[in-house]
Structure 1
Amino acid sequence: MKRRLAALLCTVALFASACGGTASPQGQAGGAGDTLIIGGPLEPRTLNPAVQSGMVTALPGAQLFASPIRYGKDFTPLPYLAKSWEFSADQLSLTLHLVSGATFHDGTPITSADVAFSLETVKKYHSFGTAMFGSVSSVETPDKETAVIKLSKPTPALLLSMSPALLPIIPKHVYGDGQDLAKHPRNVKDVVGSGPFKLKEFTAGNRIVLERNDSFFLQDRAKLKQLIVKFYPNSAATTTALEAGEIGMEISYDPVDAARLAKNSKLTVATSGYEAAGALNWLELNTKNQYLKDLKVRQAVAHAVDVDFIVNQLHSGIPEVAPGPIHPGSPFFSKDLVSYNHDTAKAAALLDEAGFPAKAGGTRFSLRIDYNPGNDVTGKNVAEAIASQLGKVGIKVEVRNAPDFATWSERVSKYDFDLTVDTVYNWGDPTIGVSRTYVCDNIKPGVVWVNMAQYCNPAVDQLFASAAQEMDVEKRKQLYRDVQRQITTDLPVVYIETQPIVNIYSKAYTGMPDGIWGAMAPLLEATGTQAG
């Protein structure tokens, strides 16, 4: 997908920065190292990534909280709060050696006890904490700068799980007060973090203002003095603000718009970043629905959905077709899947076999389709297209709008949905971001981006469990091949396309996030101030 997008940008753009390299700052009204405003259509419910997954929380969360390890442009782990680490010979113990002198924003020293507390918090509260840290049996703290993580089994995804968006180090003296961490008031106000920026303001419906932490433990600290995340009602409004110079950067999920903006001589459209995200746009099915609990009905839905139309007509052929639960760019992706070509006649026959013949007027039954709001191109437009396509086989579908992310997430996390269009991330390793959608024990009412389809197959659980501890790469690939084949057989999700994530920003900035986590990593090198 990145290669396809890069090729497109180089074709439509006649300036060098779209095809490689970073432009020099221009028109820096306030001087280097001043302010960056990032526009986004979604407002986070919490600023604490320990209790919430997703870009909306991870963007500010990675600035407010440091993690043991961080990543740059590839999958090589880099020191962060942990200056070094080593595994035991049997792979059942990981020792972290913390930097000296690191403090939380209130001046309290960061210790190994905070690392242990943070890991246990993520394990308990995060939507895929069990997938990441379920093998952690204990965290020993022999001294304040040493944390020894004991494992019940080898865990090949452990280091990646310690990225900023996945294992923020939160203060035990603040969050360990006995309150429910998922609803803790310090998740949204008076946040005491460990990262390169401090929370100055969080105004609901408006913006988040972060200011540089001048006591940050890294010698160079962050270059920006202030980082602002401003909320807009939708992606179109965000793009308008970027073109008008009201914001310096947007994170775009709209490949067609990204290609258009590449023609703007004042903007850089990045062609790298977010490789670890592995985002997929898909249609999730509530398998407890009275109709969708029947496999033949789910198969009929898959055959009725015209993925080719969505990818090539709605989205100009820029995304790739996503044939299964693992992103095609992952080393664990397999082509050996059960596929469902667009075939309305076959879909109708399956519905007949399932006992749902067409009634007078051609309707068999009715469903509702929701979508994650914020980007009409990959959300609302896809939902409307699917509703029309299902209507052709006798399934009457109502497109149900949500005024905001909170409304949508409340509905789907409590299973008040039939179908929903959503973008879900692989998070670098299938153990981290794929298994959470399908394993039986991750059906958690009220939690978004877990097993919302309420799908359960013990054979799939066992395959995921085996792959999670298999250190041999080729054996892991085989296990994940079997996972993908079984899930595409059972069909709790109809897979549509890869989801491009692109940073688009004013050329007044340099050092913008282009690593494997994109802006879900600390913005330490970003600098500049847009003109106007």
Structure 2
Amino acid sequence: MFYLKKSFLKITLIFTLLLLFPLMVFSYSMAQTKIPRGGTLKMIYQEPTHLNMAIVSGTPTGIPGCQIFAGLLQFDENFKPLPYLAKKWEVSPDGKLYTFWLEEKAVFHDGKPITSEDVAFSLETVKANHPFGVAMYRAVEKIDTSNPHIVKFHLNYPYPAFMFALHPLLLPVIPKHVYGQGEIRKNPANYKPVGSGPFKFVEWKRGQHIIFEKNEKFFRKGRPYLDRIIIEFIPDSNARTVSMETGATHLVPFSYIARDDALRLAKLPQFAMTEKGYEAIGSRTWFAVNLRKPPLSDKKVRKAIAHSLDRNFIVKQIFLGLGKPATAPFHHAGPFYHGNLPQYDYNLDKANKLLDEAGYKRKADGMRFDVNIDWIPNPTYQSVCEYAREQLKKIGINANLRASPDFPGWASRISAWDFDLNFDSVFDYPDPVIGIERMYISKNIKKLIWTNTMGYNNPEVDRLFAEAQIEQNFAKRKNLYLKVQEILWDELPLIWIQEGGFYTVYNKEYEGIPMDVWGTINPYDAVYWRKGKAE
């Protein structure tokens, strides 16, 4: 009898274990796939002028700004819109009404709820102050905020670029009760911001770092995974590489490590390098020309400069094969690119002839005139300018290189129109209305970086851009943009050099680095440290 009972107990135990085993395996698997929490992500990038990206463009403000401020939408790797502050949306059949439902539990860092009035205030602020705010939102006729959790944008006409302009980089939702007091450019919150993003501002030590800590009230449940993000400012290129290689830094975006160092680091097992995440940028480099200043106001002079620069050499030798030579005013990957423009081939004889025809003869020392060259602080860009100096000398132009100590110093100089030639990196963005026309329309001649600081004024170009902005037929719209490019390519308010490819270098201990079309200009709520604590 005892033997039977014992056998029965064994059978029962085995049967029970068999039943529980799948649950045990499932539980173990769930434990293994839980995302670790905690840890600090250390980055290196350029120091911004301030932290309110509603009133300034550029990645130095955009990267930290996307940690502080949420937006209505994010986008996947195929430009498909994804929910963020807006949990859902509808577009009317005529394309003139956009309705967005907001996350009801979303609050700002100070605990105040986010409402449709904050969204409306943010759009009006961007429209009035951002370098290309008018271009992005001039189709908006009125904003309905009658329901605090529903915002309705009424447009004067269908505007296919509108959804692209709702990413947090372009439309950060800022609290009206904080930024609506007084002159926004003098608001102290520009330096100690209050937003609703995954991380809260803690500290900014000028010339050293900015520190952010996790937002415990972030509306995406369970996020962010990291405790802290620190963005450090290290102006020396070699020091940045050393910091990355020793593990003191974990992430460097936007090619802020020299290309050869990045390629070397990428061969080490602990690092990765990617060119993904820059598709929405449509980056390009160029020499902006201050058209107010003779002799640069002479088109023949600008064409001579264009012929003196070997774009293939610049791309292959200075950018180490990154990107490709620019062949039109619009990026080649865009739908409106003009692929049949006559090229400014590298030809010193042609360049010298153009300068002679323009009346700028060589003096006794062999030089014709002097120019200054500025560049946005970046070691590769400095190398391009050093190359340009030597090339310009060959055609009798004496170029003086003027290095800026940091990004704010460069921005201050260019905003004051205090330049002759300025080598810069600018983005086309997903639609010409957002990223391209701002550089050329006369209404956007402003003392503000990444606007028409060249002083270019052509009524026909203004007219063509205005027509294209509202044209719904793609073929007709493209034809308008082709005409724009033909004029710009002939007049050369800019001397286009390279179509970029940026890259990101990061430590593999950190996963979830954004790789969609906006890449590192995104909230880092999904980034986690593999050595963090699994909960």
Moved more, 106-115 or 479-488: 479-488
The answer for the alignment partner of 1:23 in structure 2 is none
Runs of 5+ unmatched residues, structure 1: 1-30
The answer for the alignment partner of 1:134 in structure 2 is 138
The answer for the alignment partner of 1:424 in structure 2 is 426
Q: CA deviation at 1:110?
A: 0.4
Q: Distance in 1 between matches of 2:241 and 2:464?
A: 43
Whether 1:217 aligns to 2:189 is no
Root-mean-square deviation (CA, aligned residues, Å) is: 1.7
After superposition, what is the alpha-carbon deviation per residue over 1:186-237, rounded to whole angstroms, capped at 9, x for unaligned? Answer: 0112x21011111111111111111111111112321111111111113332
The answer for the alignment partner of 2:495 in structure 1 is 494
Q: Distance in 2 between matches of 1:488 and 1:234?
A: 36
Q: Could you tell me which of 105, 108, 131 is aligned with 1:104?
A: 108
The answer for the alignment partner of 2:43 in structure 1 is 38
Residue identity opposite 1:113 in structure 2: E
Q: Distance in 2 between matches of 1:192 and 1:509?
A: 27
Whether 1:186 aligns to 2:189 is yes
| Contact 1:390 1:396 (8 Å CA) reproduced | yes
Q: Distance in 1 between matches of 2:202 and 2:416?
A: 33
Q: CA deviation at 1:420?
A: 0.8
Whether 1:48 aligns to 2:47 is no
| Contact 2:275 2:501 (8 Å CA) reproduced | no
After superposition, what is the alpha-carbon deviation per residue over 1:31-82, rounded to whole angstroms, capped at 9, x for unaligned? Answer: 6442111111x10111111011111111010110000111122200111111
The answer for the alignment partner of 1:117 in structure 2 is 121
Moved more, 466-475 or 91-100: 466-475
Judging changes above 3 Å, is the alpha-carbon distance between structure 1 residues 75 and 170 closer, same or farther for their aligned structure 2 residues?
Answer: same
Query: Percentage identity across aligned positions?
Result: 42
The answer for the alignment partner of 1:394 in structure 2 is 396
The answer for the alignment partner of 1:5 in structure 2 is none
| Contact 2:275 2:502 (8 Å CA) reproduced | no
Q: CA deviation at 1:109?
A: 0.7
The within-5 A match list for 1:10-159 is 32-40=37-45, 42-159=46-163
After superposition, what is the alpha-carbon deviation per residue over 1:282-312, rounded to whole angstroms, capped at 9, x for unaligned? Answer: 1111111111111111111111122122112
Q: Distance in 2 between matches of 1:117 and 1:208?
A: 27
Secondary structure in 1 matching 2:529 = coil
Whether 1:313 aligns to 2:317 is yes
Runs of 5+ unmatched residues, structure 2: 1-35
Q: CA deviation at 1:134?
A: 1.5
Q: CA deviation at 1:244?
A: 1.0
After superposition, what is the alpha-carbon deviation per residue over 1:446-479, rounded to whole angstroms, capped at 9, x for unaligned? Answer: x111111111111112222222222333333322
| Contact 1:338 1:489 (8 Å CA) reproduced | no
Determine which structure has greater relative contact order: mean sequence separation of CA pairs < 8 Å that are 6+ residues apart, divided by chain length: 1
Residue identity opposite 2:521 in structure 1: M
Q: CA deviation at 1:363?
A: 0.8
After superposition, what is the alpha-carbon deviation per residue over 1:458-505, rounded to whole angstroms, capped at 9, x for unaligned? Answer: 111222222222233333332222222221111011111122221211
Moved more, 107-116 or 401-410: 401-410
Q: Could you tell me which of 387, 396, 407 is aligned with 1:385?
A: 387
Secondary structure in 1 matching 2:345 = coil
Secondary structure in 2 matching 1:520 = coil
Whether 1:376 aligns to 2:379 is yes
Q: CA deviation at 1:252?
A: 4.2
| Contact 1:156 1:468 (8 Å CA) reproduced | no
| Contact 2:322 2:500 (8 Å CA) reproduced | no
Residue identity opposite 1:380 in structure 2: Q
| Contact 2:511 2:530 (8 Å CA) reproduced | no
Moved more, 227-236 or 357-366: 227-236
Judging changes above 3 Å, is the alpha-carbon distance between structure 1 residues 74 and 481 closer, same or farther for their aligned structure 2 residues?
Answer: same
| Contact 2:290 2:296 (8 Å CA) reproduced | yes
The within-5 A match list for 1:342-361 is 342-361=346-365
Residue identity opposite 1:49 in structure 2: M
Whether 1:509 aligns to 2:519 is no
Q: Distance in 1 between matches of 2:246 and 2:264?
A: 15
| Contact 1:338 1:485 (8 Å CA) reproduced | no
Judging changes above 3 Å, is the alpha-carbon distance between structure 1 residues 192 and 207 closer, same or farther for their aligned structure 2 residues?
Answer: same
Q: Distance in 2 between matches of 1:511 and 1:255?
A: 23
The answer for the alignment partner of 1:239 in structure 2 is 241
Whether 1:259 aligns to 2:260 is no
Judging changes above 3 Å, is the alpha-carbon distance between structure 1 residues 216 and 153 closer, same or farther for their aligned structure 2 residues?
Answer: same
Q: Distance in 1 between matches of 2:530 and 2:285?
A: 34
Judging changes above 3 Å, is the alpha-carbon distance between structure 1 residues 487 and 257 closer, same or farther for their aligned structure 2 residues?
Answer: farther
| Contact 1:255 1:319 (8 Å CA) reproduced | no
| Contact 1:223 1:525 (8 Å CA) reproduced | yes
| Contact 1:371 1:401 (8 Å CA) reproduced | yes
State which structure, 1 or 2, has the greater radius of gyration over its C-alpha atoms.
2
After superposition, what is the alpha-carbon deviation per residue over 1:307-327, rounded to whole angstroms, capped at 9, x for unaligned? Answer: 122112222323211122322
The answer for the alignment partner of 1:20 in structure 2 is none
Judging changes above 3 Å, is the alpha-carbon distance between structure 1 residues 260 and 326 closer, same or farther for their aligned structure 2 residues?
Answer: farther
Q: CA deviation at 1:271?
A: 3.6
Moved more, 127-136 or 320-329: 320-329
Q: CA deviation at 1:507?
A: 1.1
The answer for the alignment partner of 1:444 in structure 2 is 446
Q: Distance in 2 between matches of 1:452 and 1:352?
A: 28
Q: Distance in 2 between matches of 1:491 and 1:340?
A: 11
Whether 1:323 aligns to 2:324 is no
Q: Distance in 1 between matches of 2:522 and 2:320?
A: 30
Whether 1:526 aligns to 2:530 is no
| Contact 2:273 2:503 (8 Å CA) reproduced | yes
| Contact 1:296 1:354 (8 Å CA) reproduced | yes
Secondary structure in 1 matching 2:303 = helix
Moved more, 262-271 or 364-373: 262-271
Q: Could you tell me which of 433, 436, 451 is aligned with 2:435?
A: 433
Residue identity opposite 1:516 in structure 2: V
The answer for the alignment partner of 2:299 in structure 1 is 295
TM-score relative to the length of structure 1? 0.90
Secondary structure in 2 matching 1:100 = coil
Moved more, 149-158 or 233-242: 233-242
Secondary structure in 1 matching 2:374 = strand
Secondary structure in 2 matching 1:211 = strand
